[in-house]
A and B are shown apart, each in its own frame.
Chain A
């Protein structure tokens, strides 16, 4: 089955840039979606189709996808960005949806 690998944790100082990777075989050929989840809350979609943002999501959140790695970039990180982040794709070879392992972002 298709596997998406994320680093367990990323630490970043306020005002700096956080980059969260999502690795998968030829992931660049798939559409990648990203979710933010704060403790005790449901996930929130922050980027879809590799690099599009839903309405209400700050421009500080951006995405890219190429080769075997997709990346969620959070610019000018704020304390409120501290959360778990998950990537997600659809594996068309087996017709099923896969979530990444998740990355905990800590704002120092």
Chain B
């Protein structure tokens, strides 16, 4: 079955760039679906960061857009998140997830629900 696994540093210094990767197993990213990043600060709710299609088309949260880059590497079957100029407010559990689509019709949309999630990785911004 499809599995997602986040990886990256658990501690990032203020003003530096947070970099995370989501490795996908059990499915080839190049075959379809939107793939997204979501974060959750301690004790708070979910915040969408952005989504990417296998072709590289992206959508970003307007509140983070100036600092976010999401990219896909089909050769490694993974997608990545970069968040620049981080502050303590960026401390959160970061999740990667797949957005369900219709594999039979080949219809995929950024408004699809997140049906498969990674376990999440905690990133702390601190000096």
Contacts and interface: CB of A to CB of B under 8 A. Distances in A.
Interface of A: 1, 30-31, 33, 35, 37, 42-45, 48-49, 54, 86, 88-90, 92, 94-102
Contact of A99 (B47, B112, B117): B47
Given A1-B62, A33-B113, A42-B95, A99 B46 contact: yes
B61 to A, nearest CB: 6
Interface residues on B, range: 20 to 34
A90 B111 contact: yes
8 contacts: A48-B115, A89-B111, A90-B110, A96-B48, A96-B60, A97-B36, A97-B61, A100-B45
A42 B118 contact: yes
A64 B11 CA distance: 42
A89 B114 CA distance: 11
Q: Which of B45, B47, B61, B119 has the most CB of A within 10 A?
A: B45
Nearest to A31: B111
A95 B100 CA distance: 18
Nearest to B36: A97
Contacts of B115: 45, 48, 54
